[in-house]
Structure 1
């Protein structure tokens, strides 16, 4: 992997990884796995909507915790076949840092090595009995318009809009909508007004919901 494309990871005293480039933690200071389940799974009404061939897309791969949480939910739901998962990430975390971050959640240990393998060589999709995962490296403003697939659910998980505005702009949110299947959904931890307005303009029916932990609100929506 081209090291120039990676983001250096800093570590807080409580073990939470922080992006040096964006000065923002990769997940909640309270409990990253619980946050993922609250925001991205429940926010997209998952696993209730899972069907064979269900496709999740994501802006911001980070540690891979969202992928693992979705994969665990897929297994527990007992859906046949593979969950499809595509993540767009400009600055992949070094795999050794991902393993260190994921070690904070013992229940994901079984799947952490797969996530590290994907980060070690993003050019190769990760295919297992239960998952087909593709990590698309590069600026999502350039890579998403070239994508030929529509997702059933989106995890919008870039760093804070205040610190990483490029991943929340109106043009990119329009591309998210264009790459969402009819009746598809999104969920995100942010309730920033600019982001919500961009998603409404893109064609989503947006709802503000209670957030996780220290975040009072989050946003969800369905393509109208």
Structure 2
């Protein structure tokens, strides 16, 4: 039976991904802060929880992140930048996934097709940025994209059949996005999960190190 590891499995998208994978016959291991005490911003917590896992996984999905942390909303102007709020964004949206990669890479299957995917965001694209604002969140997601790119290059040396990618899930109707939907079309978490899994199912080693949206269209860095 194929095995999948979902980090952030109690969140809106993470829980939907875990359920969808189980529905496809995968053996799913889910870890989250609310249910398991995994705090990806603290390396001892990451080392403890991921270090306790054994065996290999054909799919590892990092579905963590937050747009608003401790009441700090995305900035609309440079004058609203707060150093502590920006540091919190980097801790959760960039450093946290990097720590997961550091400790979970050993679990990724080496001698068979495998996927390691992290949920990013289109607003983290530098090339696609036409609106500005949201400085801390954008910068943290851009950092995550670079981390994924670097990880893909390194993993390609040891995991020749793996694809390591960043994925944009679209605008998903979860508590994460509730305050910021405006007129943006949204999809339910289960639909988002199905679309993301369809993208992952179609990935090959030639796709490693890239950034795709939910329709498998490349997103500019």
Which protein is richer in helix relative to its size?
2
Which protein is richer in strand relative to its size?
1
| Structures share fold, TM-score greater than 0.5 | no
- Give the TM-score normalised by structure 1: 0.35
